């Protein structure tokens, strides 16, 4: 969107992925330095993060990393720092954040808070809604439609009216007072102008001499906002309907007035130490810093009460209400972040950010994720009588919502990666120091890793899209799955189970039958959309898109392999490189990817199975003493299943294969023996 408020709020973008090399090695929490640039041409306080070597990054550290990077990548072309480096680090942390988010609110929504209760307000049909200004029962803000286009709106408490200034390519209403609305719009040349809309006519308001003007707050005929002068420097202003007055707080690098009530103006300013809130009464400037916060951003004021949000690393952003004496934190229940923007009397409006991750979805189904480090993450599934039951309050519809939001955010991150350039004369390189990684030498990340991450994201996006192509709805509030709780078909807590089972069509309460209990009960389950319950979906088109993205993923992997293989500098310090002794590994991967690529392009069946079982004889000298069975996974390079049995009576048997991997001509196998008579529960690696 590119609007000012979008740059100001923290638009969480999270993606889902399993443990990958990019997550375990590139994402984490170690920062050696953070530099706040004081460039007056910077639109934001610019943050240059230290080289972040993220080995087994902690979840709390990732939140902190995202907070830094999210601020740091904004308007990088105007500020200090290597834009390519920051863009890559931001993309990596965004990838991880999608996995670790654990909120109960999904997506971005508007809210109305009356001092007691919170109400979500979303424009019907919108994928995202933000509320900025309120006057009596009238509210203004912006929303994103299904085509990912942004529009302004006016809401009177009953009906929603879209506000698009004629001829503008973007319209954002920020403030309202009575029937007058102020905001900003973008012209065909991508320049921003202020506007005043009275419900009938649009009036452009540009400060004389300014190259761009933004209007944020209005009270009666008084308006506040920002403008950019001919030297590309930013200033605040006050406009009384006749004359314009520049507002620059003494000693500040940048002053941004956002809200006005009577003669009082609130906003934020930047100085050498960071950003702070302010209250200006026309004569004196009062700094507003919430105790314990790392940044305070006031946006709205009404009768001495001020609202906004503050930053608290690593806990992201929280709303606040300040009455001139005490600070009250405002966090909408279930939200990760709360952003109050407007206030009128006791009513406060704003937006909230929630989760898009499957971690959040898992919590709704009673599954708890344990551990604070990626390498040690585990799950705890609640069991009754040794069996799992879906909680009655779980929302099956949320599955598709999270998938759809995740896909959109994956697209955003892929776009970031695509903006990174790498040419013969200007190679993309990031070096992590030994202090950051614990290694003996610097660790190099280059464009090959960019291509790998891009391929991973495209592959995962393809998997998510396939889930959206089918009807997977099962009403978890029914007792369909209750029979999983029964050992003997009897549950003393539900003596009427047999009657309930008969009602929903379960024939035998002791044994699940896929046809009788699922497919016959849910006639559209696993059918390609559209189905009667989802008449507007197009499963065939979604699958075609999934196929296209998977092919793009393979292409990105091939480019990564070719890029890494063609590097001529020393490879020992690279995160990913080709060891001459392990070239067969890359060749094997390329063979598998080529087979998959040909299968997709030609609509033919792939020529390799998901699993391959191989049997090996075990020798002692020249005598056969046993047999080992290994089940190779899709890669053909290793697996996590198999067995080893011996025929000699003095050797314990059988052994279970926990893991194995092929290294050129050798196979490394991790075994565990269950014969306690001789060995106990001993694990050995051969």
The token pair that represents 589 in the structure block:
């991967």
Closest to 102 (Cα-Cα) out of 351, 370, 340: 370
What's the confidence (pLDDT) of residue 458? Answer: 95
Question: Mean pLDDT lowest for which of 279-288, 301-310, 594-603, 652-661?
Answer: 652-661
Which residues face 584 on adjacent strands?
none
Q: Is the pLDDT of residue 230 over 80?
A: yes
Beta bridge partners of 308: 298, 320
DSSP state of 531: B
**% the chain with pLDDT above 90:** 40
Choose between 275 and 555: higher pLDDT: 555
By C-alpha distance, which of 170, 146, 167 is closest to 2?
A: 170
Cα gap 233→393, rounded to integer Å: 53
Confidence at residue 33, expressed as pLDDT on a 0 to 100 scale: 30
From CA 95, how far away is CA 75, in angstroms rounded?
21
For residues 358 and 137, the answer to whether their CB atoms sit within 8 Å is no
Backbone angle region of 523, left / alpha / beta, with phi > 0 → left and psi within -120 to 50 → alpha: alpha
Cβ neighbour number for residue 250 with a 10 Å cutoff:
7
CB 471 within 8 A of CB 531: yes
When comparing pLDDT for 504 and 419, which is higher? 419
* Alpha-carbon torsion (437, 438, 442, 446), positive or negative: negative
Q: How confident is the model at residue 353 (pLDDT cuts 50, 70, 90)?
A: confident
pLDDT band at 127 (very low <50, low <70, confident <90, very high): confident
Contact yes or no for 411/89 (Cβ under 8 A): no
Residue 541 has pLDDT above 90, yes or no: yes
Compute CA distances 498 → 476, 511, 604, whole Å. Answer: 18, 13, 48
Answer whether 491's CB lies under 8 Å from 46's CB.
no
Q: What is the model's pLDDT at position 518?
A: 64
Rounded distance, CA 542 to CA 114, Å?
42
Query: Is pLDDT above 70 for 469?
Result: yes
pLDDT 10s digits, 65-84: 666 666 555 544 444 456 78
Task: Answer yes or no: is pLDDT of 154 > 80.
Answer: yes
Position 534 scores a pLDDT of 78
Q: Is the pLDDT of residue 32 over 90?
A: no
**Helix H or strand E segment including 397:** helix 397-418
Integer Rg of the chain from CA: 30
pLDDT of residue 138: 97
> Per residue in 376-432, pLDDT tens?
677 788 776 566 666 766 666 677 777 887 888 899 889 989 999 999 889 998 887
Residue 635 has pLDDT above 80, yes or no: no
Q: Hey, what are 331's tokens? A: 């966090």
Identify the helix (H) or strand (E) that includes residue 592. Answer: helix 583-602
State the first-to-last Cα distance of the chain, in angstroms, to the nearest integer: 57
| DSSP annotation string for 167-190 | T-SEEEEEEEETTEEEEEEE-TTS
Cα distance between residue 109 and residue 336, in whole Å = 12
CATH of 108-353, one of 2.120.10.30, 3.40.47.10, 2.30.29.30, 3.40.50.2000: 2.120.10.30
pLDDT 10s digits, 159-212: 999 999 999 999 999 999 999 999 999 999 889 999 999 999 999 999 999 999
Instruction: Let me know: does 138 contact 176? Beta carbons within 8 Å.
Output: yes
Task: Name the residue ranges covered by the structural domains of the chain.
Answer: 108-353, 474-523, 612-685
Q: Alpha carbon 481 to chain centroid distance? A: 32
Max CA separation in the chain (angstroms): 102
**Rounded Cα distance, 6 and 351, in Å:** 11
b/e 663-681 (16+ beta carbons within 10 angstroms → b): eeeebebebebeeeeeeee
Q: Is 163 helix (H, G, I), strand (E, B) or coil?
A: strand
The structure tokens 């406060």 sit at 348
Q: In this predicted structure, what is the pLDDT of residue 70?
A: 63
| Integer Cα distance of 476 and 621 in angstroms | 60
Residue-level pLDDT at 666: 81
CA distance 592 to 583: 15
In the prediction, which pLDDT does 590 show? 84
User: Within 13 Å and on the Cβ side, how many CA atoms surround 601?
Assistant: 10
* DSSP assignment of 31-93: -S-EEEE--TT-SS-EEEEPP--BTT-BHHHHHHHHHHHHHHTTTGGGSSS-HHHHHHHHHHH
- Of 128, 357, 350, 361, the C-alpha closest to 259 is 350
Q: Which of 231-245, 314-328, 518-532 has the highest mean pLDDT?
A: 231-245
Identify the pLDDT of residue 683.
39
Q: pLDDT value at position 249?
A: 96
Cis peptide bond prior to 530, omega within 30° of 0: yes
Residue 4 confidence (pLDDT) above 50: no
Using the predicted structure, report yes or no on whether residue 522 has a pLDDT greater than 80. no
273-316, pLDDT tens digit by residue?
A: 888 999 999 999 999 999 988 889 999 999 999 999 998 754 46
Per-residue pLDDT tens over the stretch 669-685: 988 875 544 444 433 33
Please tell me whether the peptide bond between 570 and the residue prior to it is cis, using omega within 30 degrees of 0: no
Place of tokens 């509320």: 131
Task: Using CB atoms within 10 Å of the CB of residue 86, give its burial: 0 to 12 exposed, 13 to 18 middle, 19+ buried.
Answer: buried
Confidence (pLDDT) at 487: 36
- Candidate from 41-55, 197-211, 252-266, 491-505 with smallest mean pLDDT: 41-55
Instruction: Evaluate the omega torsion of the peptide bond into residue 314 and state whether it is cis, within 30 degrees of 0.
Output: yes
């Amino acid at each position: 969107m590119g609007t000012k408020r979008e740059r100001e709020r923290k638009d969480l973008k999270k993606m889902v992925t399993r443990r990958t090399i990019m997550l375990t090695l590139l994402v984490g929490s170690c920062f050696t330095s953070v530099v706040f640039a004081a460039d007056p041409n910077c639109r934001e306080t610019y943050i240059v993060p230290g080289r972040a070597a993220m080995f087994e990054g902690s979840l709390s550290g990732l939140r902190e990393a995202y907070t830094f990077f999210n601020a740091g990548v904004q308007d990088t072309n105007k500020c200090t720092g290597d834009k390519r480096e920051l863009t890559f680090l931001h993309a990596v942390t965004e990838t991880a954040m999608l996995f670790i988010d654990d909120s109960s609110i999904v997506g971005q929504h508007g809210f109305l808070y009356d001092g007691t209760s919170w109400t979500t307000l979303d424009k019907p049909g919108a994928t995202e809604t933000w509320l900025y200004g309120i006057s009596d029962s009238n509210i203004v803000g912006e929303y994103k439609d299904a085509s990912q286009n942004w529009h302004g709106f006016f809401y009177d408490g009953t009906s929603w009216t879209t506000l698009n200034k004629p001829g503008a390519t973007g319209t954002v209403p920020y403030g309202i007072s009575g029937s007058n609305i102020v905001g900003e719009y973008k012209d065909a040349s991508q320049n921003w102008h202020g506007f005043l809309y009275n419900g009938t006519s649009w009036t452009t308001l540009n400060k004389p001499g300014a190259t761009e003007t933004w209007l944020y707050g209005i009270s009666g005929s008084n308006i506040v906002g920002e403008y950019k002068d001919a030297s590309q420097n930013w200033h605040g202003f006050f406009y009384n309907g006749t004359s314009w007055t520049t507002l620059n707080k003494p000693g500040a690098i940048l002053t941004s007035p956002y809200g006005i009530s009577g003669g009082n103006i609130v906003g934020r300013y930047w100085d050498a130490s960071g950003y702070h809130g302010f209250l200006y009464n026309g004569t004196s400037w009062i700094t507003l810093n919430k105790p314990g916060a790392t940044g305070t951003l006031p946006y709205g004021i009404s009768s001495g009460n001020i609202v906004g949000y503050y930053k608290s690393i690593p806990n992201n952003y929280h709303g606040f209400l300040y009455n001139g004496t005490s600070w009250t934190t405002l966090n909408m229940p279930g939200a990760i972040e709360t952003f109050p923007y407007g206030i009128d009397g006791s009513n406060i409006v704003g937006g909230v950010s929630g989760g898009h991750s499957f971690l959040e979805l898992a919590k709704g189904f009673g599954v708890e994720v344990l551990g604070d480090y990626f390498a040690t993450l585990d799950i705890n599934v609640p069991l009754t009588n040794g069996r799992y039951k879906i909680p009655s309050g779980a929302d099956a519809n949320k599955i598709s919502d999270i998938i759809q939001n995740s896909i959109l955010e994956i697209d955003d991150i892929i776009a970031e990666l695509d903006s990174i350039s790498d040419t013969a004369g200007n190679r993309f390189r990031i070096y992590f120091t030994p202090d950051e990684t614990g290694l003996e030498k610097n660790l190099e990340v280059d464009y090959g890793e960019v291509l790998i991450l891009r391929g991973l994201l495209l592959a995962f996006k393809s998997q998510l899209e396939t889930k959206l192509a089918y009807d997977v709805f099962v009403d978890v509030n029914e007792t369909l799955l209750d029979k999983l709780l029964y050992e003997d078909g009897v549950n003393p807590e539900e003596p009427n189970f047999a009657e309930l089972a008969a009602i929903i069509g379960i024939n035998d309460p002791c044994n699940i039958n896929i046809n009788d209990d699922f497919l016959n009960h849910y006639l559209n389950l696993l059918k390609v959309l559209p189905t009667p319950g989802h008449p507007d979906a197009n499963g065939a088109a979604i699958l075609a898109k999934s196929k296209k993205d998977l092919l793009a993923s393979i292409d990105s992997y091939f480019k990564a392999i070719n890029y890494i293989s063609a590097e001529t500098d020393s490879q020992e310090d690279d995160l990913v490189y080709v060891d001459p002794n392990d070239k067969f590994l890359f060749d094997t991967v390329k063979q598998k990817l080529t087979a998959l690529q040909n299968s997709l392009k030609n609509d033919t069946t792939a020529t390799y199975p998901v699993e391959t079982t191989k049997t090996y004889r075990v020798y002692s000298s020249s005598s056969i003493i046993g047999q080992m069975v290994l089940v190779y996974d899709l890669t053909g390079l290793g697996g996590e299943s198999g067995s080893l049995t011996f025929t000699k009576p003095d050797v314990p048997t059988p052994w279970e294969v926990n893991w194995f991997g092929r290294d050129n001509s050798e196979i490394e196998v991790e075994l565990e023996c269950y014969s306690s008579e001789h060995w106990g529960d001993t694990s050995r690696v051969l």
